[in-house]
Protein backbone atom coordinates (compact mmCIF):
# COMPACT_ATOMS: atom_id res chain seq x y z
CA UNK A 1 0.00 0.00 0.00
CA UNK A 2 1.31 3.44 -0.94
CA UNK A 3 1.03 6.59 1.21
CA UNK A 4 0.55 9.25 -1.44
CA UNK A 5 0.27 12.99 -0.77
CA UNK A 6 -2.22 15.02 -2.84
CA UNK A 7 -1.31 18.67 -3.43
CA UNK A 8 -3.57 19.56 -6.36
CA UNK A 9 -7.14 18.98 -7.53
CA UNK A 10 -5.51 17.91 -10.80
CA UNK A 11 -3.95 14.90 -9.09
CA UNK A 12 -5.72 11.88 -10.64
CA UNK A 13 -6.26 10.41 -7.19
CA UNK A 14 -8.12 13.48 -5.92
CA UNK A 15 -11.24 12.70 -7.95
CA UNK A 16 -11.37 9.28 -6.29
CA UNK A 17 -10.81 10.85 -2.87
CA UNK A 18 -13.55 13.45 -3.31
CA UNK A 19 -15.98 10.76 -4.41
CA UNK A 20 -15.05 8.69 -1.37
CA UNK A 21 -15.65 11.66 0.95
CA UNK A 22 -19.11 12.11 -0.55
CA UNK A 23 -19.91 8.47 0.07
CA UNK A 24 -18.98 8.40 3.75
CA UNK A 25 -19.46 11.93 5.16
CA UNK A 26 -22.61 14.05 5.59
CA UNK A 27 -22.98 16.70 2.83
CA UNK A 28 -22.29 19.61 5.20
CA UNK A 29 -18.89 18.12 6.00
CA UNK A 30 -17.61 17.96 2.41
CA UNK A 31 -16.20 20.96 0.54
CA UNK A 32 -17.11 21.31 -3.12
CA UNK A 33 -14.54 19.88 -5.55
CA UNK A 34 -13.16 23.23 -6.78
CA UNK A 35 -13.00 24.68 -3.26
CA UNK A 36 -10.27 22.15 -2.49
CA UNK A 37 -7.79 23.95 -4.76
CA UNK A 38 -6.36 26.29 -2.13
CA UNK A 39 -6.37 23.83 0.81
CA UNK A 40 -4.48 21.23 -1.23
CA UNK A 41 -1.89 23.80 -2.29
CA UNK A 42 -1.41 24.96 1.30
CA UNK A 43 1.89 23.41 2.48
CA UNK A 44 0.55 23.23 6.05
CA UNK A 45 -2.41 21.01 5.11
CA UNK A 46 -1.38 17.45 4.50
CA UNK A 47 -3.76 15.22 2.54
CA UNK A 48 -2.65 11.64 2.00
CA UNK A 49 -4.38 8.67 0.41
CA UNK A 50 -3.78 4.96 0.80
CA UNK A 51 -3.42 3.61 -2.72
CA UNK A 52 -3.25 0.04 -3.95
CA UNK A 53 -3.45 -1.02 -7.59
CA UNK A 54 -4.17 2.62 -8.53
CA UNK A 55 -7.30 2.68 -6.36
CA UNK A 56 -7.82 5.02 -3.38
CA UNK A 57 -8.77 2.80 -0.46
CA UNK A 58 -8.59 5.36 2.32
CA UNK A 59 -7.37 8.82 3.21
CA UNK A 60 -6.39 11.17 5.99
CA UNK A 61 -6.01 14.94 6.25
CA UNK A 62 -4.12 16.63 9.03
CA UNK A 63 -1.91 19.59 9.83
CA UNK A 64 0.94 20.46 12.17
CA UNK A 65 1.13 23.80 14.02
CA UNK A 66 4.79 24.59 14.64
CA UNK A 67 4.16 27.30 17.24
CA UNK A 68 1.84 25.05 19.27
CA UNK A 69 3.76 21.83 18.50
CA UNK A 70 0.30 20.30 18.11
CA UNK A 71 -1.39 18.51 15.22
CA UNK A 72 -5.01 18.31 14.10
CA UNK A 73 -6.52 15.33 12.33
CA UNK A 74 -9.18 16.70 9.99
CA UNK A 75 -10.49 13.32 8.87
CA UNK A 76 -9.66 9.68 8.35
CA UNK A 77 -11.50 7.60 5.77
CA UNK A 78 -11.48 3.83 5.56
CA UNK A 79 -13.08 2.83 2.29
CA UNK A 80 -13.09 -0.92 2.75
CA UNK A 81 -12.94 -3.31 5.68
CA UNK A 82 -10.43 -6.09 6.15
CA UNK A 83 -7.42 -4.50 4.44
CA UNK A 84 -5.66 -2.89 7.42
CA UNK A 85 -6.23 0.61 6.01
CA UNK A 86 -6.84 2.20 9.43
CA UNK A 87 -3.62 0.98 11.07
CA UNK A 88 -1.65 1.87 7.93
CA UNK A 89 -2.94 5.45 7.86
CA UNK A 90 -2.47 5.91 11.61
CA UNK A 91 1.11 4.63 11.50
CA UNK A 92 2.14 6.68 8.46
CA UNK A 93 0.49 9.85 9.78
CA UNK A 94 2.26 9.61 13.14
CA UNK A 95 5.61 8.96 11.44
CA UNK A 96 5.10 12.04 9.27
CA UNK A 97 4.09 14.20 12.25
CA UNK A 98 7.05 13.02 14.30
CA UNK A 99 9.33 14.02 11.41
CA UNK A 100 7.73 17.48 11.25
CA UNK A 101 8.11 17.91 15.01
CA UNK A 102 11.74 16.80 14.85
CA UNK A 103 12.39 19.36 12.12
CA UNK A 104 10.88 21.85 14.58
CA UNK A 105 13.39 20.58 17.17
CA UNK A 106 10.62 19.24 19.41
CA UNK A 107 8.77 16.07 20.30
CA UNK A 108 5.12 16.14 19.23
CA UNK A 109 2.89 17.28 22.13
CA UNK A 110 -0.38 15.82 20.86
CA UNK A 111 -3.15 15.88 18.31
CA UNK A 112 -6.71 17.25 18.21
CA UNK A 113 -9.60 15.48 16.50
CA UNK A 114 -13.35 16.01 16.25
CA UNK A 115 -15.25 12.82 17.02
CA UNK A 116 -18.93 12.19 16.39
CA UNK A 117 -20.84 11.16 19.49
CA UNK A 118 -23.51 8.68 18.35
CA UNK A 119 -24.79 8.57 21.93
CA UNK A 120 -25.99 12.16 21.40
CA UNK A 121 -27.19 11.87 17.80
CA UNK A 122 -27.88 8.49 16.23
CA UNK A 123 -28.84 9.43 12.68
CA UNK A 124 -25.38 9.95 11.23
CA UNK A 125 -24.92 8.16 7.93
CA UNK A 126 -21.42 7.24 6.82
CA UNK A 127 -22.06 5.00 3.87
CA UNK A 128 -22.14 1.24 4.22
CA UNK A 129 -18.54 0.68 5.37
CA UNK A 130 -18.70 -0.61 8.94
CA UNK A 131 -15.29 0.79 10.03
CA UNK A 132 -16.73 4.27 9.39
CA UNK A 133 -19.64 3.65 11.76
CA UNK A 134 -19.51 6.35 14.50
CA UNK A 135 -19.60 3.76 17.29
CA UNK A 136 -16.68 1.86 15.77
CA UNK A 137 -14.64 5.00 15.06
CA UNK A 138 -15.17 6.30 18.57
CA UNK A 139 -13.97 3.06 20.13
CA UNK A 140 -10.94 2.88 17.82
CA UNK A 141 -9.88 6.41 18.71
CA UNK A 142 -10.34 5.62 22.37
CA UNK A 143 -7.98 2.66 21.97
CA UNK A 144 -5.46 4.94 20.23
CA UNK A 145 -5.40 7.11 23.35
CA UNK A 146 -7.67 10.02 22.45
CA UNK A 147 -9.43 11.79 25.33
CA UNK A 148 -12.55 13.95 25.32
CA UNK A 149 -12.15 17.61 26.26
CA UNK A 150 -14.68 18.37 28.97
CA UNK A 151 -16.84 21.12 27.45
CA UNK A 152 -19.90 21.26 25.14
CA UNK A 153 -18.50 21.45 21.62
CA UNK A 154 -19.96 23.36 18.66
CA UNK A 155 -18.58 22.87 15.17
CA UNK A 156 -19.23 25.53 12.48
CA UNK A 157 -20.66 24.05 9.29
CA UNK A 158 -18.16 23.90 6.43
CA UNK A 159 -20.95 25.25 4.23
CA UNK A 160 -20.08 28.61 5.85
CA UNK A 161 -23.79 29.25 6.33
CA UNK A 162 -23.57 30.13 10.02
CA UNK A 163 -25.25 26.90 11.10
CA UNK A 164 -23.91 25.03 14.14
CA UNK A 165 -23.06 21.34 13.91
CA UNK A 166 -23.54 19.49 17.18
CA UNK A 167 -23.27 15.88 18.24
CA UNK A 168 -19.46 15.96 18.27
CA UNK A 169 -16.72 16.07 20.86
CA UNK A 170 -13.41 17.85 20.53
CA UNK A 171 -10.81 15.32 21.60
CA UNK A 172 -7.07 15.30 22.12
CA UNK A 173 -4.41 12.62 21.91
CA UNK A 174 -1.63 13.45 24.39
CA UNK A 175 1.65 11.84 23.39
CA UNK A 176 2.57 11.83 27.07
CA UNK A 177 -0.06 9.64 28.73
CA UNK A 178 0.42 11.49 32.04
CA UNK A 179 -1.19 14.65 30.65
CA UNK A 180 -4.69 14.89 32.16
CA UNK A 181 -5.68 18.42 31.15
CA UNK A 182 -4.98 21.10 28.55
CA UNK A 183 -4.45 24.84 29.04
CA UNK A 184 -7.53 26.63 27.77
CA UNK A 185 -5.52 29.24 25.90
CA UNK A 186 -4.09 26.51 23.64
CA UNK A 187 -7.58 25.22 22.84
CA UNK A 188 -8.95 28.70 22.13
CA UNK A 189 -6.00 29.76 19.97
CA UNK A 190 -6.22 26.52 18.03
CA UNK A 191 -9.97 26.79 17.40
CA UNK A 192 -9.74 30.43 16.33
CA UNK A 193 -6.98 29.65 13.86
CA UNK A 194 -8.49 26.41 12.60
CA UNK A 195 -11.83 28.03 11.82
CA UNK A 196 -10.47 31.39 10.63
CA UNK A 197 -11.26 30.27 7.07
CA UNK A 198 -14.99 30.39 7.90
CA UNK A 199 -16.29 33.97 8.00
CA UNK A 200 -19.83 33.02 9.02
CA UNK A 201 -19.65 31.12 12.29
CA UNK A 202 -22.72 30.49 14.49
CA UNK A 203 -23.35 32.61 17.57
CA UNK A 204 -23.18 29.45 19.69
CA UNK A 205 -19.56 28.98 18.56
CA UNK A 206 -18.61 32.41 19.89
CA UNK A 207 -20.44 31.68 23.14
CA UNK A 208 -18.46 28.44 23.44
CA UNK A 209 -15.20 30.36 23.01
CA UNK A 210 -16.24 32.95 25.61
CA UNK A 211 -17.10 30.22 28.10
CA UNK A 212 -13.76 28.52 27.51
CA UNK A 213 -11.89 31.76 28.13
CA UNK A 214 -13.41 31.94 31.63
CA UNK A 215 -11.30 28.93 32.66
CA UNK A 216 -7.58 28.22 32.68
CA UNK A 217 -7.62 24.46 32.05
CA UNK A 218 -9.89 21.80 30.55
CA UNK A 219 -9.93 18.22 31.77
CA UNK A 220 -9.22 15.28 29.46
CA UNK A 221 -11.80 12.56 30.06
CA UNK A 222 -12.30 9.04 28.67
CA UNK A 223 -14.25 8.88 25.42
Domain ranges of the chain: 2-221
Task: Note the pLDDT tens digit of each residue in 179-193.
Answer: 999 999 999 999 999
Helix 184-194 with 203-212: angle, nearest 10 deg: 160
Q: Is 2-221 assigned to CATH 3.40.630.30? A: yes
Task: Note the pLDDT tens digit of each residue in 56-99.
Answer: 999 999 999 999 999 999 989 998 889 999 999 999 999 999 99
- Is residue 94 within 8 Å of 147, Cβ to Cβ? no
Q: Is the pLDDT of residue 49 over 90?
A: yes
Helix/strand number for the chain, H first, E second: 6, 11
pLDDT reported for residue 190: 96
Amino acid sequence: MEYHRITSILDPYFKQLHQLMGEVFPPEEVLEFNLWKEPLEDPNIRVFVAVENKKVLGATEYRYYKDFNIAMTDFTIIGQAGLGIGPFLSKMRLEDLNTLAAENEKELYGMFAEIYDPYQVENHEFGSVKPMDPYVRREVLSHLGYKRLDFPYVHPSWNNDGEPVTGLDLCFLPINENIKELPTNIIVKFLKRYYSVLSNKPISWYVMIQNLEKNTKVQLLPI
